[in-house]
Amino acid sequence: MPPPPLFSPPPLRLRHAAAFALVLAAAFALFFLAFSPSTTTSSPPSYGHRLPTLVDLTLVHGAKEKGAVCLDGTPPGYHWMPGFGDGSDKWLLHLEGGSWCRNLTWCDQRKRTSLGSSAYMERAEFVGILSDDQSQNPDFYNWNKVKIRYCDGASFSGNVEEEEQHGTRFFFRGQRIWEAIMTELLPKGLARAKQAFLTGCSAGGLSTYIHCDEFRALLPKDSTVKCLADGGFFLDVEDISGRRYMRGFYNDVARLQHLRKRFPGCSSDMEPGQCFFPQQVAKSITTPMFILNPAYDVWQVEHVLSPDGSDPQNLWQNCRMDITKCDTKQLEILQGFRKSLLDAISEFKKKRDWGMFIDSCFIHCQSMKSLAWHSPSASRINNKTIAEAVGDWFFDRREVKDIDCEYPCNPTCYNVELELVGGLID
């Protein structure tokens, strides 16, 4: 059986490969909350940096009249930190992640969280790629930065007119939310942006693939516009039991929110969920895109490669929580998973204006973790942090097609170790 939509979130202990340990508060470790780094977390040690800036929530004006609402009918929201200095006419937008809801039960659960209702949204910490601290975010610290909250359950892609679903009201309006927020931001200065960067992590990374070209079309032709998807390249692969669990999950999401019509270029002989995978969505993107993904994405290892229904004897429980506890056979399977990722992105590696950073770390959503994005203890490839590699690519300082060697070759890796504590309902 697949994991239920709700369980108590375990604490997340982050361990550097060089024995550098610290503790971060976990952010919604249930399946649909997806270890999303875009949810509220406690502040990690600053290591000489100041604490993260807290940014208030802005609700979208007139959203209800447009039908651009969260699952429960509340207006969507975003957090905007205005730029300053030479960043005043530059914009970075970040799409929040948080998995998806595959049926009405799961969507009903989300309606009582910030992933389905703005009634539960609070101020946001701007860290990593959203930080306004130059030492933490050297290339984008003084830009206008916007964190767009995720509350539709389908990566900002649904647009279902009907509100009644088996006697209960649900609003599947992610596409309208996207359009309403863009409409509100354009007159605030986005329409005059000299440079603009659309980013997102996890389900927000998938959103970035989906909306990248739409974003480009909104901005002046002479502006520089690029996109980055962090931890969003979800794979259509068999799990350890031989099922394509993730495809089945996406099939449910696509049918629930009528997503087939959202991707008209998707072949009619494909299952609806196949159209939702980044490998398919990215084929039509013409805007420069950066793929940021760990080769051993901790979320995908737990929920795509070894979902609970595929492991009735719990043989993978230790491995999926801590890569150092994987046995030889499990590591062999993980290397095969890495190869599947490299095969899937191979066609995009050929695109001259695309970039990528595929490290060999056991982590998820690195752009929204200050220590993983840019710090003395951050993971590196060719002695470059993720922030440095992304900046090099965005500003055309060098071509960036950085692909790490196999685990455990990289001693700088910033790996996570998950610790389950009592209260887990599985």
Beta strand pairing call for 224-230 and 195-201 = parallel
- What pTM was estimated for this model as a whole? 0.88
CATH number for the region 12-418 comes to 3.40.50
Q: Give the three-class secondary structure for 303.
A: helix
Domain ranges of the chain: 12-418
Q: Where on the phi/psi map is residue 258: left (φ > 0), alpha (ψ -120 to 50), or beta?
A: left
Q: Catalytic positions, please? A: 202, 297, 364
Residue type, 225: V
What is the residue-level pLDDT of the chain in tens, covering all 426 positions? 444 333 333 333 434 433 333 333 333 333 434 334 333 333 344 444 578 999 999 999 999 999 999 999 999 999 999 999 999 999 999 999 999 999 999 999 999 999 999 999 999 999 999 999 999 999 999 999 999 999 999 999 999 999 887 788 999 999 999 999 999 999 999 999 999 999 999 999 999 999 999 999 999 999 999 999 999 999 999 999 999 999 999 999 999 999 998 987 788 889 999 999 999 999 999 999 999 999 999 999 999 999 989 999 999 999 999 999 999 999 999 999 999 999 999 999 999 999 999 999 999 999 999 999 999 999 999 999 999 999 999 999 999 999 999 999 999 998 998 865 433 222
| Sign of the torsion formed by the C-alpha atoms of 363, 35, 301 and 315 | positive
**Cα(381)–Cα(355) distance, rounded to whole angstroms?**
14
What is the spatial distance between Cα 61 and Cα 394, in angstroms, rounded to a whole number? 32
Please calculate the CA angle 140-117-201 and round it to the nearest 5 degrees. 35
Going by the DSSP 8-state scheme, the letter that residue 140 receives in this structure is: T
| 3 state SS of 4 | coil
